[in-house]
Structure 1
Amino acid sequence: MTDLRAPLRDERPDARDRRRSSGLFRAFWRWHFYASFLVVPVLLVLATTGLIYLFRFQIEPLLHPDLMNADQPSAASIRQPYAAQLAAVERAHPGAEVLSMAEPREEGRPTVFSVVTAAGEARDVYVNPYGAKVLGDLDLDATLSGTAVRLHAELMSGTLGDRVMELGACWAIVMALTGYYLLVKGRRARRRSRAPGARLRSRHAAVGSVVGIGLLMLLVSGLPWTGVFGERAQEIASGRGSSLWSTDPGAASDPHSTLDESLPHSHAHEVPWAQGGSEVPSSDGDGHERSVANLDTAVQVADGEGLRHPMTVALPAGDDGVFSVIGYAFDAPSDERTVHVDRYGGEVVSAYGFDDYPTLAKVVSQGIGLHEGRSLGHWSFWGSALMCVLVIVSCVTGPLMWWRRRPRGTGSLGAPRGRMPLRSSPLLALGIAALGVLLPLFGLSLLVVLALDQLVIRRVPALATFFGTA
């Protein structure tokens, strides 16, 4: 009589390997499934607002044509000096503090002055350089692009919104990594499957194979802005004599505009980093009864120093302040450079640029350029736009797949059943622990989830059934 147990003994190692592989696949699938409940809403917000922000220079002039278009009245009209345009702004907004001036980005665009009104409100004032006519002003936070930026950063909810977005970004990294595992290990099953929704699953996998790499790049390059990871990383870098940011120790002004991200990202008087002890440049009033330099002087001097147009000029803050002229570097972070010009004599007091950044700041600056689709010309711009669209597609097809395969009348979500084999996979356990340390919000949330699973869900039968615990 044939011994039926012999073949089983021969195949037992292979069967054990298949079970381990199957268990790991279903565990990764389960993580991918539950991560989507947080990640999908966050990624939809990030992708949609990111798409709006990418096209801000095309959208805003269409929404505000009376402010952002500055036609030449006649062929005989000439551009007025920036000093004359500044005077027009001061007349239109008495008592306002003018922070900075940005040259027209291209022909037919206005000069933009960032001001704080006498009532303490931030405004961008638009001036037609031909005739120095003030066209009007805008609260940038109230524009479509400004709203998109605030949603993108913190859901317009301050610290709480920032933490939610950072938590979603952390789990999105986990979702991308598990997605690639499912993509590779599940390719045979997808080809053979004839189940309802199989075609949609294959399309989701195809889109995800492209989205994953770009999404990881966008998430990693965006994390330095977050409140927990970014702040902690900056503290560690500062403690080692470096910095994540292109911080100019000589900047005495604070130019900013939500519509122009060509400015260095940290440009403030007090900067806690390795060069914070450097001498802060200031204007020397000795021998001068009044300022002999103005906006036009500063732009002319910076032009002689090789800065690119259109420039942004931060006006002097206080009697000993300097004109801080920032060269155009929107399409090339490596061109970032600021020249500080004495407000009295018009001499160059100091200069600071990409070559002076710490190594980390150079890496982060280049990452920001890629994140915002402004490095590598049109390739990165349209690549970022396509990435946003594909992320939206993935966020739609994922829930659709669940909707089609969801169990009906069982009182269950239909989540894949599986547990991470951490005891038998020390490298996997080490990797998850390392990720939890690197991304503190992910690590903390994972501990909370595991505690709820062990202490609550598995002890309540109805919850165990609903969540599909293994």
Structure 2
Amino acid sequence: MTDVLIDPAPTEKRATGRSGWFRAVWRWHFFASFLVAPVLILLAVTGLIYLFRFQLEPLMHGDLMRTDPPSQGALTQPYEVQYAAVQEAYPDASVLSMTEPKNAEETTRFSLVTADGASRDAYVDPYTGEVLGDLNPDTTLSGYAVRLHGDLMAGPWGDHVLELGACWAVVMALTGYYLFVRGWTARRRARRSGRGPAKLRSRHALVGAVSGVGLLTLLVTGLPWTGFWGEKVQSYATEHGSSLWSLDPGAVSDPTSKLDESLPHSHAVDIPWALQESDVPSSDTTQAGRSGSVANVDTAVEVADGEGLRHPFTIALPSTDDAGGVFSVIGYAFDAPSDEKTVHIDRYGGQVVATYGFDDYPTLAKVVSQGIGLHEGRSFGLWSFWGAALMCLAILFASVTGPLMWWKRRPKGAARLGAPRGRMPLKATPLLVVALVALGLFLPLFGLSLLVVLALDQLVLRRIPALAGWFDAA
């Protein structure tokens, strides 16, 4: 399978020529695509579901997420009244956050954790204050899509499988561009000849050339989330006074709902090195119990509105067990990561305790934040949204037409796979060796998997004639 990496014998002149190079790169592309196509199909489908979650979920859960205003300009119940209704309906649960409706037809969402640790989203009619019901955000269509997209719902091992697939997808995209450029003339001749598979190959190449840019962008912007590469880079960044993430010191501003992940990535227990000396936002407990000194959700909304945050807000609510907890109001920054900002408000006096926004992020976190917005199709409004959707569709097309082309040209009845034959002369091209080593160091899982594949090739495939024939070893 991998003898493309082994130098040919001196008599095999084809491998050093144009045809040999083309077939060797084609072989890389072939096997990388076979390994990567299932991963890309899964990521593209779940990515599309995630992109359209705000359209799909209200259709599927309209009884909870939608409401009919009683009249034009009808007044809504105070948020504190809605909050009290949720507390009454779920007396044993801890209410973590509240998200405002985006428009007059949407309900108010409260994220909570039940006594047994389960996550639930409760929905309240903002006009009547009635609790309409709840659902588990992890078991909605969007919830399943997010979990499959993140780690195949298999924990760290699933995360590693996706990261490995992403690494080899980089190889697939780069080799695809080589084939696109070097095979341009051959494809045009084949189209003119009217051969059946020529049109499919030409369309695959054209769509692949367009989607390759988006694919590489999505892969690079998705790497910070990975459990191996992302964790190692975050550890390195933290040790050197930076961070991949916009961590807000001490603020519990990480709502559990999976329906809207456009919020700043903030965690109460994970403070970046650069902010370890920052004071944790807390309320002035000396004001507790004083007459007229207790703020509420509506106070927090009013204060955050005065601070210039964009609606709709998400408000992380102070725990009833933490007297020093604050209201953490997170401004809407779905279409503009640079607008990300959180205001922490004293739960007693209602004054601003601290603010933390995009301007306070480490430089690396600013880059990652913009990359996340691009990855999720929300950085540039509808242009970004539809661009991401089209890229997902293009990746699906390329991932399906690639195996289909192989199926059409496979040797029927033969005891071999029908893979392109070719071996790259690495001894004659040291720059290629340097590039592979650099890519292996930058993407450690790719480097490790490449070593494993090379070992299998040398110790197994090349020593067993049946396997060598099946994998079309040159």
The alignment's TM-score, normalised by the length of structure 2, stands at 0.94
Report how many residues are paired.
456
1:267-307 Cα deviation digits (max 9, x unpaired)? 32432432123111110111431561111111111111110
Distance 1:288 1:242 in 2: 37
1:101 match: secondary structure: strand
Report what 2:83 is aligned to: 86
Q: 3-state DSSP class of the match of 2:413?
A: coil
The SS at the match of 2:243 is coil
Equivalence map 1:32-71=2 (5 Å)? 32-71=29-68
Task: Tell me by how many angstroms 1:76 deviates.
Answer: 7.6
Q: CA deviation at 1:22?
A: 2.2
CA deviations over 1:422-453 (Å, ceiling 9, x no partner) = 11111111011111111111111100000000
Q: Give structure 1 regions of 4+ aligned residues with deviation exceeding 3 angstroms.
A: 15-19, 74-77
Structure 2 equivalent of residue 435 of structure 1: 439
Residue 72 of structure 1 deviates from its aligned partner by 1.5
Q: Distance in 1 between matches of 2:17 and 2:265?
A: 48
After TM superposition, list the pairs within 5 Å mapping 1:256-405 onto structure 2: 256-289=256-289, 292-317=294-319, 318-405=322-409
Cα drift, residue 346 of structure 1: 0.6
Structure 2 residue identity aligned to 1:308:
R
- Kept in 1, the 8 Å contact 2:15–2:425? The answer is no
Counterpart CA distance in 2 for 1:433 and 1:137 is 51
The offset of 1:330, in angstroms, is 0.4
Query: 1:152 aligns to what?
Result: 149
Q: Residue 252 of structure 1 corresponds to which residue in structure 2?
A: 252
SS at match of 1:197: helix
Q: 1:16 to 1:464 in 2, by over 3 A?
A: closer
- CA offset at residue 159 of structure 1? 1.2
In 2, the alpha carbon distance for the partners of 1:391 and 1:288 equals 57
Would the aligned equivalents of 1:114 and 1:125 in 2 still touch at CA under 8 Å? yes
* Paired amino acid for 1:170: C
- Of the two structures, which has the highest relative contact order with CA contacts closer than 8 Å and spacing of 6 or more? 2
Q: Does 1:177 align with 2:174?
A: yes
Give the direction of change, closer, same or farther, for the CA distance of 1:18–1:445 in structure 2 (3 Å limit): closer
2:211 alignment partner in structure 1: 211
SS state at 1:431 partner? helix
Q: Which amino acid aligns with 1:359?
A: T
SS at match of 2:75: coil
Change (3 A) 1:357 1:158: same
Deviates more, 1:249-258 or 1:219-228: 249-258
- Structure 2 partner of 1:9: none
Structure 2 match to 1:108: 105
SS at match of 2:285: coil
- The worse-fitting range, judged by mean Cα deviation, of 273-282 and 411-420 is 273-282
Q: Which residue of 1 aligns with 2:234?
A: 234
**Residue type of the alignment partner of 1:32:** H
- 1:256·1:263 contact (CA, 8 Å) conserved in 2? no
Is the 8 Å Cα contact of residues 253 and 316 (structure 1) preserved in structure 2?
A: no
Pick from 126, 130, 136 the counterpart of residue 129 of structure 1: 126
